Each structure stands twice: as C-alpha cells, then as structure tokens.
C-alpha cells in the first residue's frame, strides 16, 4: 500500500514522506557503539602513567596510581572538623583584622 503524494495526509503517526527514512537506510548510520562501559573503563584504568615515587620515575597503571593515592591519603592525619572548623583561616583572619 504505497501512498502517492496526492492522497497522503500528514497526521500524528504519519510524518511527511520526504522526512521518512529512505529505503535500505538505517536510522542510525553510525551504528551502536561496539564497546560497553565496563570495557571502556577497564581500558582507561589499564593505561600507563609516569609518576615520581621516592625520587624515581616509574611507569604504573592508572589503577595502581589511584589505589596508591587512596592509601597515602588515608594514612595522612586529618584535622578534627569539630574542634576547629576554620582551621588555619581563623588565625589568619585575626591577623588581618588586627592590622586594620
């Protein structure tokens, strides 16, 4: 049932003929991405980066760099936020306030 342009009416669900997909043409010519998000993430984490460890340059994966950085940050002492919420900024503000 091919409609000719003369008796074809445009209505909801019936777009104009010139805007329809041409025969033998897909709606997505580029196609779907062949790689999934977990595969892309794994590839990104397995890339190598050059870092300085103990004064020496080393090549490690981004995955190793992230884990090393997390462990190093977890070992560092953190100030107690309930004791002094402004930290060093409080003493600096006093210094500036007294100078004025």
Residue 41 falls inside a structural domain: yes
Compute φ and ψ for 25, nearest 5 degrees. Answer: -120, 130
Reported as a pLDDT band with limits 50, 70 and 90, residue 5 is low
Reported as a pLDDT band with limits 50, 70 and 90, residue 12 is very high
How far, CA to CA in Å, does 50 sit from each of 45, 60, 64, 66? 14, 7, 11, 13
What stretches of the chain adopt beta strand conformation (E)?
A: 48-53, 56-61
Please state the length of the chain.
Answer: 100
**Predicted confidence (pLDDT) at residue 94 exceeds the cutoff of 80:** no
Q: What percent of the chain has pLDDT over 90?
A: 34
Residue 54 falls inside a structural domain: yes
Residue 46 falls inside a structural domain: yes
The per-residue pLDDT for 2 is: 55
- At 56 the three-state DSSP class reads strand
Those residues whose C-beta lies under 8 Å from the C-beta of residue 63, and which sit 6 or more positions away, are: 45, 46
Domain count, the chain: 1
pTM: 0.47
Give the domain range for residue 58: 35-73
Residue 17 falls inside a structural domain: no
pLDDT digits (tens, 9 = 90+) for 48-84: 999 998 999 999 999 999 999 999 888 878 776 677 6
Residue 47 falls inside a structural domain: yes
**Predicted confidence (pLDDT) at residue 18 exceeds the cutoff of 80:** yes
């Amino acid at each position: 049932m091919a409609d000719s342009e003369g008796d074809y009416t445009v209505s909801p669900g019936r777009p104009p003929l010139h805007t329809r997909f041409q025969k033998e043409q897909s709606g997505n010519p580029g196609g779907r991405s062949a790689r999934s998000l977990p595969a892309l993430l794994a590839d990104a984490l397995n890339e190598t980066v050059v870092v300085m460890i103990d004064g020496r340059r080393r090549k490690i994966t981004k995955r190793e760099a992230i884990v090393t950085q997390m462990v190093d940050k977890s070992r560092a002492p953190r100030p107690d936020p309930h004791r002094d919420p402004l930290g060093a900024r409080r003493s600096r503000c006093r210094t500036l306030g007294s100078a004025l």
